[in-house]
Amino acid sequence: MPAAAPAPARMSVAHATGLHAVDDPLDLNSAVALVADQASGEVLFAKNPDAVLPIASITKVMTAMVVLDARLPLDDVLEIGTEDIDTEKGSRSRLRPGTRLTRADMLHLALMASENRAANALGRHYPGGLESFVLAMNLKARQIGMTSSRFNDPTGLSGRNVSTARDLARMLQVAYDYPLVREYSTSPELQVPSGADKALVFRNTNRLIDQAAWSIGLQKTGYISEAGRCLVMQVGLASRSVLMVLLDATGRQARYGDAQRLRNWLDGGALPMPSARPTGTSAGGTVRTSYVSAGS
């Protein structure tokens, strides 16, 4: 009997609504992009900045802020339970049920290695449990002006965690004031205990962290099929600090290529300096791609 054909890959929301059809002068692979000056808030580059899309593990930046706002003891030991196993996407984890780590290590793994079980355990061990934690996430979003965002779980595995590039830039701006979010999200690796005389080594999910040419102060990657490949960063570029948001990049490495293209443009490289304001029409309606010269 012939083997069953593999199920077709699920189309991302940005692809389904035509956002990838919108052209931009930098020829980015990301459906959504935004670069803003961190100090002034000036938008230097924007492509579909108001499109509401799933954000995958970018969610964990909000998770971290809610945990830290609660001032729960970071040296408390939390335990991974069967409740933390991903039954929605079936994602894997090396943190087996019964693994006991401090809240600090769980937070570190969630931000650096995008560890879903760690993120879910942080929400479960919040006063009132997961339901209260998600309520706190949405309250925090409203408080900091993320008007188009909604959070459904602390991991980002749910496609119902949605936001816009503008909202995520705002979240980055606020998160930058949390020293532990900066430290944990940008550390190259973390070793945690795993049974008697054993240890697990986790590494940063952002390949740019190990590149000396990049000065990254805060970052988070993300991926689920609904969201595509995502990346947010606070980074020093062209003698200024900027907030960069890339959503739904096509291809495993495309988000990093897009980040480099934006960097080259900001540095005054060979890529065209955009000045036009083209408008494209997607299946979801009219979307606008606007630009401000990086030198203005």
Report, as residue numbers or ranges, the catalytic residues. 57, 60, 114
State both tokens at 294: 């990086």
* Cα 3 from Cα 37, distance rounded (Å): 53
* Cα 99 from Cα 29, distance rounded (Å): 39
Amino acid (one-letter) located at 234: Q
In this structure, the dihedral spanned by the alpha carbons of residues 266, 271, 276 and 277, taken in order and rounded to 10 degrees, is -70
- Strands 30-37 and 43-47, by their bridges, are antiparallel
List of residues 6+ apart from 134 with CB closer than 8 A: 123, 151, 152, 153, 154
* Cα 54 from Cα 58, distance rounded (Å): 9
Query: Phi and psi for 285 in degrees, rounded to 5?
Result: 120, -170
For residue 240, count CB atoms less than 10 angstroms from its CB and return exposed for 0-12, middle for 13-18, buried for 19 or more.
middle
Q: What is the DSSP letter of 225?
A: T
